[in-house]
């Protein structure tokens, strides 16, 4: 789905199952990572009400905010052009912004509770299930990819029989 429907492509199982780059597993891993932060926050904080999203204080936060703000325009363009591959491109861009924000921002260890609540509200905006305003899960639903809740990798206890 990440390729334009009118173009040819070569199916490469190793590329499409990689956890790096523009792949489904990369996007699903990002969703799992952000959902883990949201769960830890709700498990450890007394006040789990959504905070107000404050103006960005750093480049990764601003990049994420800008990516989130493009959601409606991207969906409209995809509909008008009948181009589902643009949804995939947007979700990949948003996943990159989420990962960059996650790596550069110590969300759960932030001492300023108002700032922490703002960051959590920003992540919730990206991740809220069944919300037409939520880019990650909703965008994936539009291209027929479901997100399991919680998404976990299970290690088999026995080798599979062949």
Convert the pLDDT of each residue in 40-73 to its tens digit. Answer: 998 887 776 667 999 999 999 999 999 999 988 9
pTM (2 d.p.): 0.76
Q: Is 31 in contact with 127 (CB distance < 8 Å)?
A: yes
Q: Helices 113-127 and 24-44 meet at what angle, rounded to 10? A: 140
Gap between the Cα atoms of 126 and 104, Å rounded: 17
The predicted pLDDT at position 85 comes to: 86
The predicted pLDDT at position 141 comes to: 55
């Amino acid at each position: 789905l990440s390729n334009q429907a009118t173009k040819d492509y070569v199916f490469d199982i190793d590329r499409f199952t990689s956890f790096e780059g523009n792949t489904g597993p990369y996007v699903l891993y990002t969703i799992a990572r952000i959902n883990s932060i949201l769960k830890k926050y709700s498990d450890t904080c007394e006040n789990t009400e959504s905070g107000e999203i404050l103006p960005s204080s750093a480049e990764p936060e601003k990049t994420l905010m800008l990516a989130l703000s493009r959601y409606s325009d991207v969906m409209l363009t995809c509909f008008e052009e009948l181009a589902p591959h643009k949804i995939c491109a947007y979700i990949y861009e948003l996943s990159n912004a989420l990962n960059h924000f996650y790596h550069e921002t110590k969300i759960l260890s932030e001492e300023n509770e108002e700032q922490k609540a703002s960051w959590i509200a920003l992540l919730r905006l990206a991740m809220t299930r069944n919300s037409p305003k939520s880019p990650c899960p909703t965008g994936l639903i539009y291209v027929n990819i479901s997100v399991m809740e919680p998404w976990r990798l299970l290690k088999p206890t026995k080798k599979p029989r062949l």
